[in-house]
Chains A and B, each alone.
Chain A
Amino acid sequence: DTGVSQDPRHKITKRGQNVTFRCDPISEHNRLYWYRQTLGQGPEFLTYFQNEAQLEKSRLLSDRFSAERPKGSFSTLEIQRTEQGDSAMYLCASTNHILTLVLDTEAFFGQGTRLTVV
């Protein structure tokens, strides 16, 4: 499978627990994005990486959220001390920006991790 994969697909956790999600982008893609989507809304940007460097973080991202992409391949998103308001679908997407002269920023999304905080 050459698409973006995310693990787990579903996660139920108790309030206050920590959770970690994983995203494996398309292998040749150098950019990786995290978005959050709640029911009936469009995806909201959280953060993105160019290779292993985290280049931008949304103001929406509280200190309880941290993301890494240590080797420029897969990425993890950790939420500490989860709250009920964190319940959402967490989407990962990747793009290929090697050919930067071409405006070709199509984002390939994974299936998402649905988090439920009880």
Chain B
Amino acid sequence: GQQVMQIPQYQHVQEGEDFTTYCNSSTTLSNIQWYKQRPGGHPVFLIQLVKSGEVKKQKRLTFQFGEAKKNSSLHITATQTTDVGTYFCAGEVNNAGNMLTFGGGTRLMVKP
């Protein structure tokens, strides 16, 4: 079955440093979504990428979807303590919106 892997599993950074998490799928995806889950909270949607090679930005966050639509990355510039949480990628295979396959997540910890 489809698998979605994320690295690293954990990342400690000093406030102000950059952070990147990488997502790889075993199968080609129709689209990929990114979610953030704060400690004790639930996943909250950040963005959806659909096109091959697509890049989207949200303030300090930059999201990329690979040319082959099998990998993606999230880069945060100049991290802040409010960025703390676990970032999940979630892939969809057939555009039917019937299920998401989540990666294991990258837990980001930011030291002030």
- Which of A's residues lie within 8 Å of B, judged by CB? 31, 33, 35, 40-45, 48, 55-56, 58-59, 91, 95, 97, 100, 103-112
Q: Determine if B99 and A105 form an interchain contact, defined as CB atoms under 8 angstroms apart.
A: no
Chain B: interface size category: 20 to 34
Known: A95-B97, A106-B45. 11 other contacts (CB 8 A): A31-B97, A42-B103, A43-B43, A45-B99, A45-B101, A91-B42, A97-B97, A105-B48, A106-B48, A107-B45, A111-B42
CA distance A44 to B88 in the complex (A): 12
Inter-subunit contact B33/A44 (CB<8 Å): no
CB closest chain-B residue, reference A91: B42
- B44 at interface, CB cutoff 8 A: yes
23 A-B contacts (beta carbon < 8 Å): A35-B102, A42-B6, A42-B102, A43-B43, A43-B88, A45-B99, A45-B100, A45-B101, A48-B99, A55-B98, A56-B98, A56-B99, A91-B42, A103-B30, A103-B31, A103-B50, A105-B92, A106-B45, A106-B48, A107-B33, A109-B42, A109-B43, A111-B42
- B97 / chain A contacts, CB cutoff of 8 Å: 31, 95, 97, 100, 105
